[in-house]
Structure 1
């Protein structure tokens, strides 16, 4: 801690820091005790906080908002000990492709979009599967609107709701396996090399660029592989159905 005369430009008191980062003063003090932020610069008995403190606390708050644990935030900050802004930048690169505003709508609207009658039991099933969350006012919050919207379109084609919902666990499992494969590929190559080099400060921007590049590439590869697999599955199914139909006509 360094003692000097007067606050510097851009420095914040603990109350201002809490307001800037959307936290309580109590939480700021707790995170400081845990070592998530460095000590403030002291002027007399008053502590002043700068951009590094803002970056670190912003990272913690955003990760907690996304459902990560405080331990996960600590690990990410520990991986970039020289700069919280580096860790925050890497986190934003990891999360920005997936950031999407959840939708909030009435249960009846959800049923109308699927072109089926409103059924409270179906809503309960969606909540149980994590596809929807019930708000206090009775409306539904949809965390992954894209996934649910696709399901509604399929239901709208005339396929029973329960049959569509049955596909979701398997779909998530398969997608999770692919995601794990790409993450492990990144960890065992690019990230391992970065760590072996001592995670030099000058290489953080390049690492962030690589993260930003590999995420959409992984998505493109998954879509391309799925399209190829879907074509093959359709061809096989149509061949079986047409063959069965031809055999039926011949027998008749």
Structure 2
């Protein structure tokens, strides 16, 4: 990675772009999304400092690890806060302190990441939202997270078996350009998740009559 001698005013966007290996357009896009703080302005010029440099390096690292921008926003603490988020964060800290195996299970299954302060955060926004909503419905987040770790341990082998069965039984047609479509994995995941979601919704409706997914209160 290139480096520049620091100066009091910081870096221009061109200099920052060269340091992190990211185009000025993408830097501005991250700023628009709220992932990057605005630059300091001196007259008509904008300058970026060490905070911006560290944040962009963090974003780049997380993207290389496969996280999308929505997940990165949650991990960096820049996503819009939902009711129950603070309780979820406190529950994660408690789980890490008193039940390390559960915490390790959540981390092993890719559900956890780290924010800028190094604190644990749920890396999947839909999961974070669901935990927060259950907290709002009166279920302690610690209980939800404990069950989530146990559930993931049980579900991982099932998911492997289901994906293996799908790969064995579903014929993949070649795309016009030759070979399987590059969207196959994503499409298969959406298909299997939708099927599993339907099965779970049916079971919830039977277990909690009149209080299933279709009976949510309007907000």
TM-score interval, smaller chain? 0.3 to 0.5
TM-score (norm 2): 0.45
TM-score (norm 1): 0.41
